[in-house]
Amino acid sequence: MRKLWITLGGIYVALVLYLSLTSNPPDLRVPQAFDIGHVLAYLWLTLWFTQIYRTNLGRSILAVALCLMGIGVEILQGLGGYRVFEYTDMALNTLGIALGLMLARTRLQNSLLALEGRLGIEHPS
């Protein structure tokens, strides 16, 4: 089901990009002092993709790519005129990535495999 998981991951990336760049983001009623949405979004993306890309190299590339995505989003927000460029948001995104990488070393790294097992999908040995 790797193709499905990658496709769903792409949809999650597109959702994060949309929510980050839209001129009318939803009000999640989260205090501005600590925007947990940044942390959760990048934690989710990291944890999702680390289940697909399981090698240290793959996870390192993923972490760099997500960091670059977060930086790129902030640059685009600053250029757009209706959102604000924030170094703090970049730091919060990176915190989410770091937490995702840590959680990827727990049982959570096998969540998609466990789901496949519950669905009766067998993996070749």
**DSSP annotation of 53:** S
Asked if the model's pLDDT at residue 43 lies above 90, the reply is yes
Per-residue pLDDT, 25: 79
Q: Could you tell me if residue 79 is inside a domain? A: yes
CA-nearest of 43, 44, 42, 48 to 70 is 42
Each residue's pLDDT tens digit, 58-78: 999 999 999 999 999 999 999
Closest CA to 92 of 12, 48, 20, 36: 36
Q: What is the pTM of this model?
A: 0.89
Total of domains in the chain = 1
Q: 55 or 23: whose pLDDT is higher?
A: 55
Residue pLDDT, tens place only, 83-113:
889 999 999 999 999 999 999 999 999 999 9
Contact 20/73 with Cβ under 8 angstroms? Answer: yes
| pLDDT band (50, 70, 90) for residue 26 | confident
Classify residue 123: in a domain, yes or no.
Answer: no
Q: Which of 15, 28, 2 is nearest to 73 (CA)?
A: 15
In this structure, is residue 59 part of a structural domain?
A: yes
What is the CB neighbour count within 10 angstroms for residue 32? 6
Residue 68: domain span? 2-20+37-118
- Inside any domain, residue 91: yes
Helices 56-80 and 87-103 cross at an angle (nearest 10°) of 160
Looking at the predicted structure, is the pLDDT value of residue 34 above 70? Answer: no
In a domain, residue 31? The reply is no
Q: Is residue 81 part of a domain?
A: yes
Tokens linked to 1: 């089901």
Percent of residues, the chain, with pLDDT higher than 70 = 93
The whole-angstrom separation of Cα 71 and Cα 83 is 14
